[in-house]
Amino acid sequence: MSAVSVRLGEALYGIPVGRVSRVLRPPPVSRVPFPPPDVQGVAQVGGAVVAVLDLGTRLGGAPAVQPGRLLVVRPGRGREPVAVRVDGVGGLVDDEAAEPPEPQEAAAALPEGWITGVARMDDGRRVALLDLERVLGENG
């Protein structure tokens, strides 16, 4: 299986390609009252209204740059698609040869199980593979 690499600041993360339905420039986002810190609002994408989450904030880091890119993803367990904002989208990374996550770096800063492994891009950069269902959790 492959993952779509996304950039948040200097960090690279991988989102399972099977969970990504669209990658697009962000449309206008409408604010909602009293959202959690990582919820930017809602947007109309392909005729549907989806929640827009800032993946940088969700992962406990700096917010994604504006305008950035949106990935419309399916979180799993029958939940409605959501859009996650990231700084940029790279290519595909092969996660078949992924190594277990190391305790230092990003894995140590996130809740257990959010990173399933670490893959390498062709140029040697490391990509932390995300368990999207856990990252988006019940509050996503």
pLDDT by residue (tens digit) across 78-117? 889 999 999 999 989 987 777 777 655 555 678 888 998 8
C-alpha span between 82 and 115 (Å, rounded): 19
pTM of the model: 0.89
Rounded to 5°, the CA angle 71-97-9 comes to 40
Query: CATH topology for 2-136?
Result: OB fold (Dihydrolipoamide Acetyltransferase, E2P) (2.40.50)
Domain residue ranges in the chain: 2-136
pLDDT by residue (tens digit) across 50-62? 999 999 999 988 9
Residue 73, pLDDT score:
96
SS3 category, 6? strand
pLDDT by residue (tens digit) across 87-98? 999 989 987 777
